[in-house]
Structures are given as structure tokens and as C-alpha cells.
Structure 1
């Protein structure tokens, strides 16, 4: 199974957060893989600057298993008295059960590949506060920013594989630039074979 995510926020005060949880367990004749990727970004800027936020997540699985996949995204924008705020989040998850009993034709060793199989993707981003597609909700831009927080990026990854011949690969990056941006991205691949 492969889980990815990215969150990006531009503004004077920004928060980009990422969280990936993956667990793969070989139970003998059955292998169970479950994972969730959740990323969010929030940005606030004054009248001289524009705030922007974007978040995207995805999950890729190998073919041959019984699969449940889901995606959820949210996006909120607000502008008032020289302040603008964007907040977006994206979550993708999946649960896969592979039956590797003799005669089922399913080989659980292919669990770690990222080609073939299915994918679940979701992304959220906000347009300009004036644009019709931005969904300007009645949000108080200062409610989430009671004090000057600066630019923050957080990444939390919990990945594990149980069984023989396990594989976990994690790649992540975080970056903040004072009064400008926060970004976080990650890729987690896991398999049991």
C-alpha cells in the first residue's frame, strides 16, 4: 500500500500539518492492510498580502484484495477588514484484505507495489476570497489566530508491517519560511511478502 499527502500554506501566519498511519499484518492465509493520510493547511494574511492554502492526499493499493476506500475534503475561506484566511483539509484512507489461501489466486507479496490496483485521491484548495468558487463562509478570520503563531509545519507518521519479509519506506519533508509559508509532504510505502 502507498499513502501520500501534501499541505501548502502561503501567508504571514501559516500552519501545514500531515499525518499518515499505515499498518500491514500478515495473518498467515490473510493479509490486512489499513491506512489513512490526513493533511491540512491554514493561512492568514493582512491587507497587503494574499493568503493561500492547499492540501492533497492519495492511497494506492495492489490488485486482488477486498477493498474499502474513502476520501473527504473541506475548504473554507474568509475575508474581513484587511484580513484573509484560508483553511483546507484532505483525508484519504483504505482497508484491504488479501486472501492468500491456496487456490484463491491472490498473492499477498504484491501488497507493497504501487502499480496497478486502485487509487483513491482527494485534493482541496481555495481560490481568491472574491471568487465565486471559494465558498466564502461566514468565518471569523481571527478566531483561529488569537495570537501571532508564525509559520508552523508538523509531520506525524506511524507505519508498521508485521510478518515475514516486511517492508516500510518513509519519505517526508517539512519547510517553513518566516512570514511567508509552511509546507509538508510525505510518502509511505509498506508491504508484507
Structure 2
């Protein structure tokens, strides 16, 4: 059995993914005391929002997508961006995937972009197969070690909670989050008020 550092890292990532899968892919709790710093206000059904005056800039998320093309959050300046953090090994991620794609198709012509962050998949082939099986057409950044996730401000999300969905407003600020699987109805409830803000 190989004892190389690369092998050990892959084994650790795989083991961590297995533990989270057995736990339903998510740990309990939220960002905790950091919520006060990031401005999130607990809402109904586990969807938290940030009042306009308290919103803070989203981090500079970027990387190669699953087709090895460079993509970054800044590519979508001026749009509302739904960032879904997922893994092919995560059962709740599979359950929400079809609804996310349905919401993307519904809102993409209204100035809304969806962007995935695929995490803890040691082989991008698994992630590509997931997207193919689920019919996902929006891009996902391949982030096996969680580098992009850790860019989010402390308290804005729990990196151990997969899936998580973060929503960035048209001004590039964190506006909403759901640290659980989301439905098409959740996305309607999040996106409709943000779309209305352009007229306020």
C-alpha cells in the first residue's frame, strides 16, 4: 500500500466525504456568532437573508470548471448569481439538482446566473457524470479541497454543510443562503424579491 503524501491526502478527502454522506451530507448548526458580522437574518424554512443595508461583498470565487474552462463570479457582474455548493457523493445534492436546473431555466433570461462549486470529489469524472445524469447545464467550479468555499466570510456558511446555496445580488453582495437542500419554491421565494430590487 502506497504511503505517498498524495495518496494519503486523497484517502483523507474520501474518508471525510464518506463520513458526511453517512451523516446526510450536512452537519448541524450554522455560521453561529459570525451571523452578526455577515448580516444574515434567520428566515422561515432555513433560508436566511441579509437586509440591503447590511450586505457585504461576495468573495472572488474563481477556478476551472468541469470542462477545464476558467470561470469566475466576476464574469456575471450585474446579474443575480445563485451559487450552489455540492458533491456527487451527496444524496441531498441529488435530490435538489433537478429543481435547481428548473429554476435556472426559469430565471436565466431575467438576469439570473447559476454557478456550482463542486467540492470533495477527488475525480472530476464523478462530478461530470453527476451533472450529466441530473441534466445540469450551468457551470460548476471544480474545488475538491474547498479552497473557494473557504473564501466566504467567516460566519456566512459552514464549510461542512453540503449542500449549501448562497445568493449574490446584482451589486455583487451576499444576499441570501440556505444551508440545506433547496426546492423550486425556495428559489422563487429568494429570487423574486431580489429581482424586484432593481425597480426599488
Calculate the TM-score normalised by the size of structure 2: 0.28
Judging by fraction of residues, say which structure has more helix.
Answer: 2
TM-score normalised by the chain length of structure 1: 0.28
**Which of 1 and 2 has greater Rg?**
1
